[in-house]
Amino acid sequence: MSEAEAFFDTNVPLYLLSGDAAKADRAEAVLAEGGVISVQVLNELATVASHKLGLTWPEVHEVLDTVRALCRVEPLTVATHERGLAICERYGFSVYDSMIVAAALLADCRVLWTEDLQGGQHIEDQLTVKNPFATS
């Protein structure tokens, strides 16, 4: 999948750190194909890895470096914020999920890999939500 087609929500790279071998393997496979993440994803990944998973800061930096090597990083901008708020209003997503969707749209992505939204949903006639861990 080309970089312009896939955007990864935080839960995908987080599974690289999971004790669930099947999900960790699947996350590794989709991330290896390349794609886009946002600065928000990096921030959320650092927070969960350090606070909830107890990784040391050198370990957190190693994970972030790995993810950044695999993915292009979409910056957070006022345009992301404004688009995210409009998405929040229109679709009823949480503000944080809406900012992920906005970043994916602004990066011209076609697929959003996430567990947090309904798989198969189409957003703005551009983005399709897919759950990389769904069985079917």
The answer to the question of residue 17 being in a domain is yes
The boundaries of the domain holding residue 75 are: 6-130
| 1 part of a folded domain | no
Which residues fall within 8 angstroms of residue 57, CB to CB, at 6 or more apart?
Answer: 50
Q: What is the pLDDT of residues 62-91, one digit of tens each?
A: 999 999 999 999 999 999 999 999 999 999
The residues near 56 (Cβ < 8 Å, ≥ 6 apart) are: none
Query: pTM of the prediction?
Result: 0.91
> How many domains are contained in the chain?
1
**Does residue 12 form part of some domain?**
yes
pLDDT digits (tens, 9 = 90+) for 23-68: 999 999 999 999 999 999 999 999 999 999 999 999 999 999 999 9
Tokens of 2: 């080309």
Q: Is residue 58 assigned to a domain?
A: yes
Half-sphere exposure (CA, 13 Å, Cβ side) for 108? 4
In a domain, 136, yes or no: no
Task: Round to whole Å and give the CA distance between 111 and 5.
Answer: 6
CATH number of the domain to which 64 belongs = 3.40.50.1010
Whether residue 135 lies inside any domain: the answer is no
